[in-house]
Amino acid sequence: MLTQEELFGKCPYATSQKILSGKWALIILFHLRDHKYRFNELQKALPDITQTTLTKQLRTLEAYGMITRTVYPQIPPKVEYELSALGNDFSAVLDSLEAWGNKYIEHQQHLSHLPMPQNDFR
């Protein structure tokens, strides 16, 4: 029997899980669906992400073929990130995710407590 890792590229859910597991993956894809972003612009758009982390996330998404990275060989450097074809297809997921997320938020408003973080079983 295959492990979940080996299901990458075979099962759509295992595949999606790996690609989206990054803490910033969804928000980056959401921003990039509108237009291209330069590295600096992206960092400003994401409130509290460091350079190192943003670089890692972008490289990961690029490795998965979700985004493209264009380097303009000039001084000062200019690098633009945009969605690949596969990344553009992801817009449908973002739409349903946004719709569901908003409904989730709305329905959780009247709850007295927010969910506890994982591994917290009080």
Partner DNA sequence: CTGGATCCCCTCGGATACTG
Partner DNA sequence: CAGTATCCGAGGGGATCCAG
- List interacting residues with a second copy (CB under 8 A): 1-4, 8-17, 19-27, 30, 46-49, 56, 59-60, 63-65, 85-86, 89-90, 92-105, 107-108, 111, 114-116, 118-119, 121
Least gap, CB of 24 to a second copy (angstroms): 8
**Within a 10 A sphere around the Cβ of 45, how many other Cβ atoms?**
15
Query: What's the rounded Cα separation, in Å, for the pair 68 and 42?
Result: 14
Query: What's the rounded Cα separation, in Å, for the pair 42 and 25?
Result: 12
By CB under 7 A, is residue 79 in contact with DNA? yes
Among the listed residues 2, 35, 36, 51, the single contact to DNA using CB under 7 A: 51
**Within a 10 A sphere around the Cβ of 119, how many other Cβ atoms?**
5
Among the listed residues 12, 52, 112, 115, the single contact to DNA using CB under 7 A: 52
